[in-house]
Structure 1
Amino acid sequence: MTSLSFDIAHLLAGGLVLVSFMMLYQDRLSALINVYALHALVLTLSVAWQAQVQHAPHLYVTAAIALGFKAVVIPLVLHRIVRRLGIHRDIETVVGIGPTMLAGMGLVALSMVVILRITPEADPLAREDLSFALSVLLLGLLVMVTRRNAVSQVIGFMSLENGLILAATGARGMPLVVEISVAFSIVIAFIVIGIFLFRIRERFDTVDVGALDSFRGERR
């Protein structure tokens, strides 16, 4: 692998971590959805470059799935759900943006230390991609636990899954049948999540998980 190939792969994987931080910073739901679309687009570019570097044509299928479903279809559907639910407002957070960003930087540092120490003999590109992938995964989890809105928690879950895809492609790819299975699983999960959100809105007139605490013990 040439130095340029390594640098580009490193830049794209690092860009995915940067966009994850952008997701942590957003306080508007529509902006968060748009940043998630950017997150999926950077993932697409990263996977496509891995396909080129590894000479693994089947990874282009993964890139196409990420571009079609994650960067286009899912953000459009999420925007439609937000409009239908009428939840155009700020996202309430458990803690402030400042402490959240500091926690995110700590998680990235932890990811780097853990992966680089447990994989000293691994391929340099794989080590870097795995450390970035773990960072993306942990930042997605942080989005989930620091947001009160159910839609933003769903976005955090899907960004977490983007980190898993980056890890799989960085570790010399994954079988095509696994990629297709993951794609169908994403679609099914997204449909279930959409139904779930509409049922919450219909039943409680809110998708703020903090506000749902007041409904505990309510009898029909």
Structure 2
Amino acid sequence: MHSLDFDISHSLAGGLVLISFMMLYQDRLYSLLNVFALHAVTLSLAVTWQAFIQDAPHLYVTAAIALVFKAIIIPVALHRIIRQLGIHRDIETAVGIGPTMLAGMGLVALSMVLMLRVTAEADALAREDLAFALSVVLLGLLVMVTRRNAVSQVVGFMSLENGLVLAATGAKGMPLVVEISVAFSILIAFIVIGIFLFRIRERFDSVDVAALDESRGERR
């Protein structure tokens, strides 16, 4: 493994972690969607680089899927949903930005310690990329946990899935059929989520998940 290959791969994987922190920091839906689009573009570049250094042409398809669907189609569709539903564009958070960022740093440190120990026998590129990928997954979960707005939770879920794709490609890739099935699963899930958001809006006049607690008689 050439030093340049190693450095570029880790720069792109580290960039995904940094952009995940940027998502944690956002308090406006439009800004969050724009940052997620940047997250998807960076994932596409990371997968493209892995395809090049691994000589794995099928990974170029994965990179194209990430770029077209995650960086363009899904963010544009979510922007449209927000406008059509008239959703409140400030993001309600369960925890303040400061504690959330500290928790994110703790999760990244945990990911590094855990993965570098578990994958001690693997090659350096794979084990460090897996550590970055686990960080992205955990930060995506943190976005979902700390945000009350349903749209921001959807974004957290999709960023989590980006981490899984990074892990799979860093560990010498997935079979193409699995990647295509994952892409179609995401599209189906996105359609269902869109319908779900419209139903929430009709029923509760809000997409704040706290409204669901109130409907069950649980007041904060």
TM-score by length of 2: 0.97
Structure 2 residue aligned with 1:164: 164
Contact kept in structure 1, 2:204 and 2:211, CA below 8 Å: no
Q: In 2, distance between residues paired with 1:11 and 1:124? A: 14
Contact kept in structure 1, 2:115 and 2:131, CA below 8 Å: yes
Matches within 5 A, 1:121-200: 121-200=121-200
Structure 2: 5+ residue stretches without partners = none
Structure 2 residue aligned with 1:75: 75
Q: Tell me by how many angstroms 1:89 deviates.
A: 2.3
Name the amino acid aligned to 1:129: D
Contact kept in structure 2, 1:16 and 1:39, CA below 8 Å: yes
CA deviation profile, 1:149-172 (whole Å, cap 9, x unmatched) = 000000000000000000000000
Structure 1: 5+ residue stretches without partners = none
CA deviation profile, 1:26-75 (whole Å, cap 9, x unmatched) = 00011000000000000000000000010100000000000010000000
Name the amino acid aligned to 2:125: L
Structure 2 residue aligned with 1:208: 208
Q: Tell me by how many angstroms 1:211 deviates.
A: 2.5
Contact kept in structure 2, 1:111 and 1:134, CA below 8 Å: yes
Name the amino acid aligned to 1:91: I
Structure 1 residue aligned with 2:111: 111
SS at structure 2 position matched to 1:87: coil
SS at structure 1 position matched to 2:91: coil
TM-score by length of 1: 0.97
Q: Tell me by how many angstroms 1:212 deviates.
A: 2.5
Q: In 2, distance between residues paired with 1:89 and 1:8? A: 36
Q: In 1, distance between residues paired with 2:58 and 2:214? A: 49
Q: In 2, distance between residues paired with 1:57 and 1:89? A: 41
Q: Tell me by how many angstroms 1:216 deviates.
A: 1.4
Q: In 2, distance between residues paired with 1:200 and 1:87? A: 11
Q: Tell me by how many angstroms 1:85 deviates.
A: 0.9
Query: What root-mean-square deviation, in Å, do the aligned CA atoms of Structure 1 and Structure 2 show?
Result: 1.0
Matched, 1:92 2:95: no
Structure 2 residue aligned with 1:31: 31
SS at structure 1 position matched to 2:160: helix
Name the amino acid aligned to 1:155: V
Name the amino acid aligned to 1:114: L
Q: Percent of counterpart pairs with the same letter?
A: 82
User: Across the two proteins, how many residue pairs are aligned to each other?
Assistant: 218
Matches within 5 A, 1:56-75: 56-75=56-75
CA deviation profile, 1:188-213 (whole Å, cap 9, x unmatched) = 01000000011100111000011321
